[in-house]
C-alpha cells in the first residue's frame, strides 16, 4: 500500500497537471477488432486517437481482443475490450495508462498533505504522532526526479522561442561519463545522444519539460526542467540490476530506428564479455567478427574484412590512436584489454567525414576514464594469460587514472604441439595508462598511453618480435552550449624485428617500422534541435623505414641491405551537416578534402610509357632532397546518409560514401601477419579509391525488444594492390615492379535479428557477399585470368553466426556461439609441364577453387559470486569449450610433390575441442 501511494505521488508530480483534464473531450473510435492481440489493438488505437499508451508488455500482450465499435469514446472501447479482466485504464491528457489491479490516480485527496493526528495511549500521557500518507511512513525527501530544475535566467516576460540545454551524463558511483546515453523529450519527439565524453546538447522550446535519460545497463531517470534560457543540466545515472522479468515501457524509442547512420554496429563491453572465445579471454575483435558484413579468413587471424575490403582497409582506433597490428599470440588474442574499454563502434558505411585514410571501415574503441570517487581494481587469471587493472581518483571528482596490464605464460602449451614444434616459445604483454583531468566546467584533459609487445620463435633460433606504441593527448573545450571543440595530438608507432644469432657467422637483424605524428582539431556546433554541424582539420606526418638487414654481432659476415626511408604528409579538412527535416525525415551530408604529399629524400625510378614496370624498362633515376615534395595526390570524399521513419518501429535508410587511402599493406598472407610491411603511395604506386552505395530496412517487434535489419550494398574499388607470382615484398628497392593496380567490386546482403532483453538474448546474422578483382591491362603488368574478374583471397559468399546467452539467475548464465562460412578461394596446381629440362607445376586460374567450408560451435558458463553492494570483493568463474565438436576446420590447403604425384593436405589450427577456465575478481 505504501509503495503504491508513493508511486502515485511520484506520477502526480511528474505529470504536474490539473484535475480539469478528467473532463477532456474524448476522441470517438470506430472499427472491427476481431481476434486481435492486445499489442495490435493498442497500436490501432494509437493511430486512430493520437494517444500514447503506456503498459507492461509482460502479461497484457497475452490478452485477446474481440469487439466491434462505432463512434464510441476511447474509454468505452477500452472498457469493452478489457471487460472483467484484472487490467484497468486511466486517461490523462493525451496519455493512457493500462495497469494491473488498480488504476493510476490522477488526483490526490484534498487532505492528502494535511497532517493527521493519531493518538496512542501510553498510560499517563497521550502522544500524538503526525502522519502524512500512512501511519508508518517516513518523511519524504527531495530527489532529482521529483525536483524542478530551473535553467536559464528567469524574467517577467512571456516565454517564447527556444533555448539550448547541455551537460554531462555520468555514472553516479564512479563519476565516469556514459557515452551514447539517450536524452529525449517524448512529448516533442526530440532526442539526442551523448558523445564519447558523456556530453549532450539539445534545443527545446522555453517552458516546462519532462526529460528522459536512458542508457544500456543504467536505470532510466527523469528530470523536470523549467527552461528560461540557455543553461546546463548534468545528470547522474545509477546501475540497473534488472530482474529476470524486466518491465519494458512500450513508448520508448529504439536507437536503431531513429539513428540517421546505417551500417554502424555498437557493442557494449558487457556483451563482449559474455561471448565465448578461444582460451576464455574476452576479445573485442572476435566479437566484431561475428557481426554481419565482417569476415575473417580463419582461426589464428586477427585481421578482418568488411564488405569486400582487405584487412589493411580498416582504420582501427583506440582513443583516436591508430593501432596497426591489433593482435597478440599469433592472432589468438586482440591487443585491447577488455577491462579498460568502455565502448566499441564499427562503421561499415555512412562513415563520418571526420574519419579518413581507409576505404572499408572504422573500428573506434573508446576507453573508460577511471573511477573518480574511489580506488578500485580488477584482476583475472586464466590458463594462458593474467591481467591486473587499478583505477581511482588522484583528486576526487576531478582527476582520475587507470593503469592496466596483461601478460602471458604460454610456453607450456607448446608441449602439446607436434614434436617438431615442441621447442617453440611465445609470450606477450601490453600496458595501458589513462589519465583524465577536469580543469573546470569548460575544459578537460585526457591522456592515453599504450604499449604492446610480442615475441616468439617456432622451433628454431629465429626470434620474431613486434609491437605497437601509442600516446594521445586531448583537450576538450566547451565555448558555450552550442559550440565545443576537441584538440588532440599524438604519436603512433608499429614495428617488427627478426633476428638469428645461433650461428655467429650468419647472425642477422631484420627490422621494419612505421611511425606517424598527428594533430587534429574538431568542432561540434549545435545550431538547434534539428540542425548540427561537425567540422575540423587533421594532419598526419608519416615516417616509414621499409626494411633493413644488418649483421648481428662482430663475427657476422652478413652483407647489410637497407631500403631508404619514406616520408609523407597527409592533411584533410572536413564538414558534416546533420538536419532533421521532419520528425520522420533526416539527412546528413558531409565532404572531406584530403591532400597527400610524398616527400624526400628519396630515389624515384621512371619507367617507359606503355610498358610494364620492370627493372629493364627504367628510363631515368631522379634524386630528391630532404623535405622536397616529390608528388601529390588530392581530391574530395563525399558522405551522404538519409533516414525516413515510416512508423515508430520501422525505418528506411540509404547512404553513399567515397574514400581515399594513401597507405598500403604488403603481405603474402590473407590475414594480418607480424611480418607484414606498409608502403606509402608514391609516383609509381597510386592511392586506393573506393565508393559504396547502401540501403537498409529496420523493423522492431515486441515493444522494441527484438530488432531486425536488412542491409544491401555495392562497392567499387580502384587501384587496389595485388601481387605478381613470386613477388618479393621484403627489402625491395623496386617494389613497384612486383605489384600491380587492380579494379574491384563487392556487393552483398546482410540480415540480422537481435533480441535485447529477457532471460534469453543474443543475435543471429546472415551475410551473402561477393568480392572480385580484375587486372586486364598488359601495359601495367601481368594480366590475371585472361583479364576476367577473379575472386579476392577473402571472398566467402555465405556466413551465418548465432550468439545466444541464457541467464538462469543473476549469478549463473550460459552462452553459445555457432559460426558457419563458405571456404575461401585458393589457387591450386592442376598439372605439370616440361620446360628447359625440368617439370614445372601448372596452376589453375587465380582463386578458382575453395578450401572446405568452416563450422564451429563454442560454449561457455559464467558463475558469479553474490551481488552484495557492501562486499569488498566480487568474483566470478568462467568455464568453456572452444570448438565444442572438435571439428578440424582447414585454415589452408597446401600441396606437396611426392614420388612425382602432387598431393594436397589440409592445415587446421584447432583440430580438437579446447577447454578453458578463468577466474576474475573486482575490488
| 344 Cβ neighbours under 8 A, 6+ residues apart | 266, 267, 268, 269, 272, 284, 287, 288, 363, 364, 365, 366
State the cell numbers at 672.
594480418
- Give the pairing of strands 508-528 and 561-563: unpaired
| 817 Cβ neighbours under 8 A, 6+ residues apart | 275, 276, 290, 801, 802, 803, 804, 856, 857, 858, 859
The pLDDT, as a whole number, for residue 105 is: 63
How far apart, in whole angstroms, are the C-alpha atoms of residue 553 and residue 139? 81
The pLDDT, as a whole number, for residue 8 is: 38
Under a CB-based contact definition with an 8 Å cutoff, are residues 550 and 688 in contact?
no
Q: What is the 3-state secondary structure (H, E, C) of 4-43?
A: HHHHHHHHHHHHCCCHHHHHCCCCEEEEEEEEEEHHHHHH
State the cell numbers at 625.
632532397
Is residue 618 helix, strand or coil? Answer: strand
The pLDDT, as a whole number, for residue 113 is: 46
CATH class assigned to 2-100? alpha beta
Question: Roughly how many angstroms between the first and final C-alpha of the chain, as a whole number?
Answer: 39
State the cell numbers at 157.
516576460
- Beta-bridge partner residues of 390: 377, 403
Long-range contacts of 142-145 (CB under 8 A, 24+ apart): 144/221, 144/223, 144/235, 144/236, 145/10, 145/14, 145/221, 145/222, 145/223, 145/224
The pLDDT, as a whole number, for residue 867 is: 63
How far apart, in whole angstroms, are the C-alpha atoms of residue 252 and residue 213? 11
| Main-chain dihedrals φ then ψ at residue 96, nearest 5 degrees | -125, 120
Q: What is the 3-state secondary structure (H, E, C) of 788-804?
A: CCEECCCCCCEEEEEEE
How far apart, in whole angstroms, are the C-alpha atoms of residue 791 and residue 827? 11
Residue 529, CA distances (Å) to 183, 399, 581, 627 in order: 12, 32, 11, 47
Same fold, 2-100 and 142-242: no
The pLDDT, as a whole number, for residue 122 is: 43
The pLDDT, as a whole number, for residue 893 is: 77
How far apart, in whole angstroms, are the C-alpha atoms of residue 330 and residue 332? 6
How far apart, in whole angstroms, are the C-alpha atoms of residue 746 and residue 767? 13
Under a CB-based contact definition with an 8 Å cutoff, are residues 738 and 772 in contact?
no
Q: ∠451-456-460 over CA atoms, to 5°? A: 155
How far apart, in whole angstroms, are the C-alpha atoms of residue 384 and residue 374? 31
The pLDDT, as a whole number, for residue 707 is: 92
Under a CB-based contact definition with an 8 Å cutoff, are residues 42 and 77 in contact?
no
| Main-chain dihedrals φ then ψ at residue 561, nearest 5 degrees | -145, 120
State the cell numbers at 794.
577473402
Residue 699, CA distances (Å) to 86, 97, 226, 707 in order: 31, 25, 35, 6
| pTM metric for this prediction | 0.81
User: 736: which DSSP letter?
Assistant: G
The pLDDT, as a whole number, for residue 22 is: 39
How far apart, in whole angstroms, are the C-alpha atoms of residue 230 and residue 166? 8
User: 730: which DSSP letter?
Assistant: S
Question: Which of the residues in the chain have pLDDT under 50?
Answer: 1-24, 110-138, 242-252
How far apart, in whole angstroms, are the C-alpha atoms of residue 694 and residue 713? 4
Q: Is the dihedral of CA 319, 321, 327, 328 positive or negative?
A: negative
How far apart, in whole angstroms, are the C-alpha atoms of residue 50 and residue 859? 47
State the cell numbers at 15.
505529470
Specify the fold of 142-242: Immunoglobulin-like (2.60.40)
All structural domains of the chain with their residue ranges:
2-100, 142-242, 264-922
The pLDDT, as a whole number, for residue 905 is: 76
Nearest CA-CA partner of 522 in 497, 550, 487, 474: 487
The CATH superfamily assigned to 264-922 is: TonB-dependent receptor, beta-barrel domain (2.40.170.20)
- Give the pairing of strands 95-100 and 52-55: parallel
How far apart, in whole angstroms, are the C-alpha atoms of residue 337 and residue 384? 15
Residue matched to cell numbers 585458393: 826
Amino acid at each position: 500500500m505504501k509503495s503504491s501511494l508513493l508511486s502515485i505521488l511520484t506520477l502526480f508530480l511528474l505529470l504536474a497537471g490539473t484535475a480539469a483534464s478528467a473532463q477532456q473531450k474524448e476522441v470517438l473510435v470506430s472499427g472491427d477488432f476481431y481476434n486481435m492481440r492486445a499489442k495490435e489493438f493498442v497500436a490501432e488505437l494509437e493511430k486512430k486517437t493520437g494517444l500514447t499508451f503506456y503498459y507492461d508488455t509482460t502479461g497484457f500482450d497475452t490478452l485477446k481482443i474481440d469487439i466491434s465499435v462505432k463512434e464510441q469514446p476511447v474509454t468505452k472501447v477500452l472498457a469493452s475490450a478489457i471487460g472483467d479482466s484484472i487490467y484497468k485504464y486511466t486517461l490523462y491528457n493525451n496519455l493512457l495508462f493500462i495497469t494491473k489491479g488498480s488504476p493510476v490516480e490522477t488526483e490526490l485527496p484534498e487532505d492528502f498533505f494535511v497532517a493527521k493526528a493519531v493518538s496512542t495511549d501510553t498510560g499517563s500521557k497521550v502522544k500524538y504522532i503526525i502522519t502524512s500518507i500512512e501511519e508508518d511512513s517516513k518523511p519524504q525527501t527531495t530527489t532529482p526526479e521529483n525536483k524542478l530544475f530551473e535553467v536559464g535566467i528567469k524574467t517577467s516576460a512571456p516565454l517564447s522561442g527556444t533555448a539550448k540545454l547541455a551537460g554531462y551524463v555520468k555514472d553516479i558511483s564512479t563519476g565516469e561519463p556514459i557515452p551514447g546515453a539517450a536524452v529525449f523529450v517524448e512529448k516533442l519527439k526530440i532526442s539526442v545522444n551523448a558523445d564519447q565524453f558523456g556530453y549532450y546538447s539539445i534545443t527545446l522550446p522555453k517552458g516546462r519539460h519532462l526529460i528522459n535519460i536512458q542508457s544500456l545497463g543504467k536505470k532510466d531517470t527523469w528530470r523536470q526542467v523549467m527552461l528560461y534560457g540557455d543553461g546546463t543540466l548534468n545528470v547522474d545515472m545509477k546501475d540497473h540490476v534488472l530482474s529476470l522479468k524486466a518491465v519494458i515501457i512500450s513508448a520508448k524509442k529504439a536507437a536503431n530506428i531513429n539513428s540517421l547512420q546505417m551500417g554502424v554496429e555498437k557493442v557494449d563491453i558487457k556483451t563482449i564479455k559474455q561471448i565465448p572465445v578461444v582460451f576464455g579471454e574476452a576479445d573485442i575483435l572476435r566479437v566484431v567478427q561475428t557481426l554481419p558484413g565482417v569476415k575473417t579468413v580463419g582461426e589464428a587471424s586477427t585481421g578482418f574484412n568488411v564488405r569486400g575490403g582487405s584487412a589493411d582497409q580498416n582504420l582501427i582506433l583506440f582513443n583516436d590512436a591508430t593501432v596497426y597490428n591489433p593482435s597478440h599470440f599469433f592472432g589468438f588474442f586482440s591487443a585491447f584489454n577488455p577491462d579498460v574499454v568502455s565502448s566499441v563502434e564499427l562503421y561499415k558505411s555512412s562513415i563520418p567525414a571526420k574519419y579518413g585514410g581507409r576505404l572499408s571501415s572504422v573500428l573506434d574503441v573508446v576507453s573508460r576514464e577511471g573511477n573518480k570517487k574511489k580506488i578500485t581494481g580488477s584482476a583475472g587469471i586464466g590458463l594462458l594469460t593474467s591481467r591486473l587493472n587499478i583505477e581511482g581518483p588522484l583528486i576526487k571528482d576531478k582527476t582520475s587514472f587507470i593503469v592496466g596490464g596483461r601478460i602471458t605464460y604460454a610456453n607450456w602449451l607448446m608441449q602439446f604441439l607436434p614434436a617438431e614444434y615442441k621447442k617453440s616459445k611465445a609470450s606477450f604483454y601490453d600496458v595501458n595508462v589513462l589519465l583524465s583531468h577536469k580543469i573546470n566546467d569548460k575544459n578537460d584533459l585526457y591522456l592515453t598511453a599504450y604499449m604492446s609487445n610480442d615475441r616468439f620463435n617456432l622451433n628454431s633460433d629465429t626470434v620474431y618480435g613486434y609491437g605497437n606504441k601509442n600516446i594521445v593527448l586531448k583537450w576538450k573545450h566547451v565555448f558555450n552550449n552550442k559550440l565545443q571543440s576537441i584538440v588532440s595530438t599524438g604519436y603512433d608507432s608499429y614495428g617488427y624485428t627478426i633476428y638469428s644469432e645461433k650461428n655467429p657467422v650468419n647472425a642477422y637483424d631484420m627490422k621494419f617500422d612505421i611511425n606517424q605524428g598527428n594533430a587534429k582539431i574538431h568542432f561540434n556546433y549545435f545550431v538547434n534541435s534539428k540542425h548540427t554541424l561537425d567540422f575540423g582539420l587533421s594532419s598526419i606526418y608519416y615516417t616509414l623505414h621499409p626494411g633493413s638487414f644488418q649483421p648481428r654481432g662482430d663475427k657476422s659476415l652478413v652483407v647489410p641491405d637497407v631500403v631508404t626511408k619514406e616520408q609523407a604528409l597527409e592533411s584533410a579538412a572536413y564538414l558534416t551537416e546533420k538536419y532533421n527535416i521532419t520528425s520522420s525525415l533526416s539527412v546528413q551530408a558531409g565532404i572531406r578534402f584530403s591532400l597527400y604529399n610524398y616527400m624526400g629524400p628519396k630515389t624515384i625510378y621512371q619507367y617507359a610509357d606503355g610498358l610494364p614496370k620492370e627493372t629493364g624498362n627504367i628510363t631515368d633515376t631522379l634524386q630528391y632532397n630532404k623535405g622536397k615534395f616529390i608528388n601529390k595526390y588530392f581530391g574530395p570524399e563525399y558522405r551522404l546518409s538519409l533516414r525516413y521513419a515510416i512508423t515508430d518501429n520501422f525505418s528506411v535508410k540509404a547512404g553513399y560514401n567515397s574514400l581515399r587511402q594513401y597507405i598500403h599493406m604488403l603481405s603474402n598472407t590473407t590475414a594480418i601477419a607480424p611480418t607484414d610491411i606498409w608502403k606509402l603511395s608514391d609516383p609509381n604506386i597510386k592511392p586506393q579509391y573506393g565508393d559504396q552505395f547502401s540501403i537498409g530496412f529496420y523493423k522492431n517487434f515486441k515493444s522494441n525488444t527484438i530488432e531486425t535489419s536488412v542491409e544491401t550494398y555495392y562497392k567499387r574499388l580502384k587501384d587496389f594492390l595485388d601481387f605478381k607470382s613470386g613477388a618479393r615484398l621484403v627489402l625491395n628497392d623496386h617494389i613497384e615492379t612486383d605489384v600491380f593496380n587492380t579494379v574491384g567490386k563487392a556487393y552483398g546482403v546482410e540480415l540480422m535479428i537481435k533480441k535485447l532483453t529477457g532471460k534469453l538474448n543474443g543475435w543471429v546474422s546472415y551475410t551473402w557477399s561477393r568480392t572480385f578483382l580484375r587486372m586486364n591491362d598488359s601495359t601495367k603488368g601481368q594480366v590475371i585470368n585472361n583479364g576476367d574478374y577473379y575472386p579476392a583471397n577473402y571472398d566467402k559468399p555465405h556466413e551465418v553466426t548465432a550468439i545466444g546467452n541464457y541467464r538462469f539467475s543473476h549469478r549463473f548464465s550460459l552462452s553459445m556461439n555457432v559460426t558457419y562460412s563458405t571456404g575461401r578461394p585458393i589457387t591450386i596446381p592442376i598439372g605439370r609441364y616440361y620446360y628447359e629440362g625440368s617439370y614445372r607445376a601448372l596452376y589453375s586460374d587465380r582463386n578458382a577453387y575453395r578450401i572446405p567450408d568452416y563450422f564451429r560451435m563454442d560454449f561457455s558458463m559464467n558463475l558469479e559470486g553474490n551481488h552484495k553492494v557492501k562486499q569488498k570483493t566480487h568474483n566470478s568463474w568462467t568455464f568453456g569449450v572452444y570448438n565444442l565438436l572438435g571439428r578440424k576446420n582447414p585454415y589452408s590447403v597446401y600441396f606437396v610433390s611426392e614420388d612425382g604425384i602432387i598431393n594436397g593436405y589440409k592445415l587446421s589450427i584447432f583440430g580438437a575441442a579446447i577447454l578453458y577456465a578463468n577466474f576474475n575478481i573486482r575490488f
